[in-house]
Amino acid sequence: MEVVIVESPAKAKTINKYLGKDYKVLASFGHVRDLPPKDGSVRPDEDFAMSWAVDTPSSKRLGDITKAVKDADGVILATDPDREGEAISWHVLEVLRQKRALKDKPVRRVVFNAITKKAVLNAMAAPREIDAALVDAYLARRALDYLVGFNLSPVLWRKLPGARSAGRVQSVALRLVCDRELEIERFVREDYWQIAALLDTPRGEGFEARLTEFGGKKLQKLSIKSQEEADSIKAMLDGASYKVLSVEAKPTRRNPGPPFTTSTLQQAASSRLGFGATRTMQVAQRLYEGIEIGGETTGLITYMRTDGVQMAPEALDQARAAIADTFGERYLPEKARFYSVKAKNAQEAHEAIRPTDFARSPDKVRKYLDADQFRLYDMIWKRAIASQMQPAEIERTTVEIEAAGDGRKAGLRAVGSVVRFDGFLAAYTDVKDEDKEDENENRLPEIRDGETLAREAVNVTKHTTEPPPRYTEASLIKKMEELGIGRPSTYASTLKTLEERDYVTVDRRRLVPQAKGRIVTGFLENFFRRYVEYDFTAGLEEKLDRISDGQLSWKDVLRDFWKDFSGAVDDIKELRVTDVLDALNEELAPLVFPPREDGSNPRICPKCGTGNLSLKLGRYGAFVGCSNYPECGFTRQLGDNGENGDAALDGNKELGVDPVTGEEITLRSGRFGPYVQRGEGKEAKRASLPKGWSVESMDYEKAMALLSLPRDIGQHPETGKLISAGIGRYGPFLLHDGSYANLESVEDVFSIGLNRAVSVIADKKAKGPGRGGRAAPAALKDLGEHPDGGAITVRDGRYGPYVNHGRVNATLPKGKDPADVTREEALELIAAKAGKGGAGKAGRAKKPAKKAAAKKPAAKAKTGVE
């Protein structure tokens, strides 16, 4: 018997069926070792020696693998066909060697791009050695990311309180988003006018022609800059005669694009389906690992982390057969199409993302898939089919027209297109093409050279230039790929990190940089510029690719990088915070000092009139404050234009008096934004304005409603226990019997009735029962699957935030931000809690025993091998 090691248990189950009783397939559950997040995990002074830690769940998995290998005849490493997969195989092999489990047993590495019986058996028949160059590239990348993050993030914490982290790729992606925002802020709008004439042929058929030339000068988009100039031209055209100078019909061909790569799949799924990058990869992973069809689990698509654009020869044959069968022979080219990679740093030669069997059309598998799976599979199948179809044949007609009158001449142009043969468009149309008008709707009537045209009307339209749009996830991924920054497998996690760090938010699918993200970017651009430059980051990616090709030594690359990087970090450590703030005041002037409606100096304090405003740093991040502090207590949230600050309130605004207590209700502004307060002193009750509530809209009734929270709704008809509604740090909620349920809006807190509240609580309970049948508090963050199965989540309980897996709840360390918890940290906390002998009330009842038992499991979880 031979032991086969794959990454996921779903894949292990499927492959075990394919291989039979002579093989035992085990899952590593992803990476089995990682660099522990502490000083010394990568040691430049020891020629970049690296220490690897094995957490408790991975120790158990590795124990099972080691035991199986000792009784086996050989080992087959069958992890994913990319750098990460190669690295996991290498890690497993290193651990097996250290545990002396291998002896002289043969070790083989196999890779397959699809989880089908044929692909797996073919891979088993063609084993190879572990690719040392790919492993070296992984080690270099992991060491670089550690050195940047572990050395730069602490500098941010000291110089910019509230900033959470910096990363080699993460910081450059954030800079792209912030630079675009700066472009938008500095953009100066311009008005311009366009003119078009509605004309008729002698046969009475109408069409539109746009003005392109006037008075012997070619007109550009912004050439007509005033209403007066536009009206003057219109007056001339109203009295002009029109004649056709030329009619040119030119046939063109549009070729299909290649099948999807990781980045183009993420872009298309965002544009067409509204999927985020993370959601796209999760759905694609399920399609790759397999769907139950006819009693057998079958992978529907090939491996979804790839830069390759080619398809295997047998896939080309399948695609061509499907085209002939589905669309007809006319849509089939004489020979198969071949594509080349255009990305700056294309990865190893993998196949494009395609169906594993083109005969499985979307309609045939629809009943086996959920909605997301079907929509993504449908798009992948159609794009791959279209890539092998005939080009679309389009006839483009351009008509040049002369207008003469009042001793002046003007030129107009009409353009129309007609699709003569749809070709690949019958299967797949890019979203950019769908955004345009239908080709056939642009069709022109019959227009003859030299004939005279009649004028129906001349229309003048005013336009205003628009700033460049904010990035979407799709356009940011496309830009990163164009610049050669990051890898396809990292785009989704990079974007997710930016959101989790509160550096960006997503508003109507657009990435909006938050003040915290702009502060970090401004700091790095001023004091660490080289390491957020696009060319430098792309150049480093190119070196990593050359390592994977065996052209560079990975330690040489690390030495070159560390020499300059460590010096730059040392220089930054000597910076004074005042120097940082002065630089950021200038760099982020549009954000820190937004223009005022009255035109006054935005850098002068609006409260005292003599102090200068400047960035200040507090425990929770940056804000704007007055230089006359403490005499002047003006503060404003960064990015607030003053409408929610003391400038708008002019001190405290009196709203009324509480009829019960007799205390005054006031509207105030603090460092963290506007709030209402009842009474004075430490015992005064305060409530922040919820998101979406403005200072202008606040009145006595709203203030009293906020201060009265939590609001009692009534007793639950089944339990007899009180249901209340409130607003917490994570938004509006219902509370019943110690369990929380999220509400959709702040308004629901004040309006929801008992019947609907009971329904919301029941829905929440149905989605996820906790211990004792009670609904668990709402998940604040999903950290993915636990190696033993089941979800890992971060939740907020009555005793504070904690991580949850099954019946194990592990409280977060004091001061740890729930949004900042990583999967690895959660696994350690869960493992430590499980090792202490339980969870929940039973665990809390044995505090002394838990403390005594805590050290050994925790130390074991941290132990690694070098």
Give me the active site residues, please: 303
- Any idea which residue has 């992890």 for tokens? 79
The sign of the CA dihedral 772, 773, 778, 784 is: positive
DSSP state of 334: S
Terminal-to-terminal C-alpha distance of the chain: 31
Rounded-to-integer distance, Cα 102 and Cα 91, Å: 14
**Helix or strand (DSSP H, E) at 702:** helix 700-707
* Nearest in space to 124 (alpha carbons), one of 19, 262, 17, 266: 19
Rounded-to-integer distance, Cα 726 and Cα 715, Å: 16
- CA 135, distance to chain mean position in Å, is 27
Rounded-to-integer distance, Cα 571 and Cα 527, Å: 9
* Amino acid of residue 54: V
Strand 408-421, strand 673-678: pairing: unpaired
Strand order across the 673-678 sheet: 653-657, 664-670, 673-678, 685-688
49 and 43 Cβ atoms separated by less than 8 Å? yes
482 and 202 Cβ atoms separated by less than 8 Å? no
Give the total residue count for the chain. 866
Q: For residue 152, give Cα distances in angstroms to 491, 494, 688.
A: 21, 17, 34
Please write down the HEC assignment for all residues of 37-51. CCCCCEEHHHCCEEC
DSSP state of 425: G
**Helix or strand (DSSP H, E) at 345:** none
- Classify the phi-psi angles of 738: left when phi > 0, otherwise alpha if psi is within -120 to 50, otherwise beta: left
- Secondary structure (3-state) at 501: coil
- CA 591, distance to chain mean position in Å, is 24
- Secondary structure (3-state) at 101: coil
Query: Phi and psi dihedrals of 492, rounded to 5?
Result: -65, -45
Q: For residue 852, give Cα distances in angstroms to 385, 438, 454, 847, 863.
A: 63, 73, 96, 9, 19
Rounded-to-integer distance, Cα 488 and Cα 143, Å: 19
- CA 576, distance to chain mean position in Å, is 34
Q: For residue 258, give Cα distances in angstroms to 209, 266, 308, 337.
A: 36, 15, 10, 9
CB burial of residue 677 (10 Å; 0-12, 13-18, 19+): buried
- CA 665, distance to chain mean position in Å, is 42
- Secondary structure (3-state) at 216: coil
Helix axes 823-835, 847-862, angle to 10 degrees: 130
Strand 2-6, strand 74-77: pairing: parallel
- CA 280, distance to chain mean position in Å, is 10
